[in-house]
Amino acid sequence: MKEGSESKGPLFGLPISVKDNICTKGILTTAGSKILSGYLPPFDATCISKIKEAGGAVLGKTAMDEFGFGTFSTNTAYSVPKNPFDAGRSCGGSSGGAGCITAAADFPHVAIAESTGGSITAPAAFTGAVGLTPTYGRVSRYGLIDYSNSMDKIGVMAKCVYDTAFMLSIISGWDPLDSTSSKTKKEEFTVFVGGDIKGVKIGVPKEYFSEGVDERISKLVRAKIDKLEALGATCREISLPSTKYAVAAYYIIALSEASTNLAKHCGLRYGLQEKIEGTFGEYFSKVRSAGFGDEAKRRIILGTYARMAGFRDAYYLKALKIRTRIMNEFKKAFGESDVLIAPSMPILAPKFSEIEKLTPMQTYSLDILTVAPNMAGMPTLSVPCGRVAGLPAGLQIISDHFKESNLFRVGSAVETVN
């Protein structure tokens, strides 16, 4: 991707797709849910405003799991994206549509996506795309239809590391409309692409290569690490022992926040409406029963339970303590490592017939490699590392807060080694 003339902006003419939970003025935005059917935002999300100011053009919206509730983009009221490598397999979720178009497009294109617990990394791994999840607060969340306020992050999916760095340079920066956006100095991230990695310290968390991770994927990732060492990086095994608690803590925190956030979708101000009759409770239940899918209902109920009086201390507050413990472990690791490298997902893109047989708990457990860095607000970059039986596999790079520069240095090196 080359920058255009200054008069027309660096993104002049570039088609941009946008995940369906990011507001685009006058363009249908449903977050994959019937409850928001017909919603046409009267404004652009801050990241979209920045893209338009830079000359980018919104191509359309991409399919997703309802409100981000899923790993395979099958929990949607609308179309399910098919994997370009095998139409019988998932693109991953919840940003599955972003991964699908990124992998399939034969024209210059960048996808704006969003991650709460791995929703950029999963589809990037399953479709062979590059997926960037920036530090929490690096990109404004204003205009994002929220799932879990303390973890939602707007990011980028593209065909190469350079394109993700280029787009992050455009959409990042402090926003007075978002109280959680950081005032960290804005950077030009493309200068880090292709940089020398001699002396870069790589940590390899042993828990991310444990039982449950496809050995073929682990082998590809370790082969890339060996190649990085040949380029001058140093590597050592580390431990992140609280990883085993990450999935449980993540779902308690995320679903507690989601049940609160989704209460506003009650048929009065947004989206789906029914004939107003009966009590408020009856009307509220009627609209939400018709508007939300099964997975959304499941997560609302679980989240409401976890934050109820009598259960808040037992579940929600303990989950927050685990989150702090996980963050501290990452911080300790980054005291001795510049980046951590692990598989992006524990499996290859599954067949839809296989997904149908999974229980909710089995599906949730597949997030084991992505929820911990997302809970901690760490930036991650998923880069293709090879193929198994014709299907792409991803390598995940994790760095400390606001150290995306390390992601781009190492990620671009991964792209160049065979």
Which residues share a beta bridge with 131?
A: 157, 382
Collapsing DSSP to helix, strand or coil, 337 comes out as coil
Asked if 357 is an active-site residue, the reply is: no
Tokens of 377: 């607000």
Catalytic residue among 49, 95, 115, 119: 119
Catalytic residue among 19, 61, 159, 224: 19
Helix, strand, coil tally for the chain in percent (to 5)? 40, 20, 45
The pair phi, psi for residue 225, each rounded to 5°, is -60, -40
| Alpha helical stretches, state H, 35-178 | 46-53, 96-104, 121-127, 161-171
CA angle 12, 18, 22 (to 5 degrees): 120
CB-based contact 408:189 (threshold 8 Å): yes
Asked if 50 is an active-site residue, the reply is: no
- Encoded amino acid at 408, one letter: F
Which residues share a beta bridge with 17?
A: 60, 111
Catalytic residue among 94, 115, 256, 382: 94
- Neighbouring CB atoms inside 10 A of 8's CB total 11
| Strand order across the 380-388 sheet | 57-62, 15-19, 110-115, 153-158, 130-133, 380-388, 391-399, 339-343, 201-205, 234-238
Asked if 73 is an active-site residue, the reply is: no
- Tell me which residues are annotated as active site: 19, 94, 119
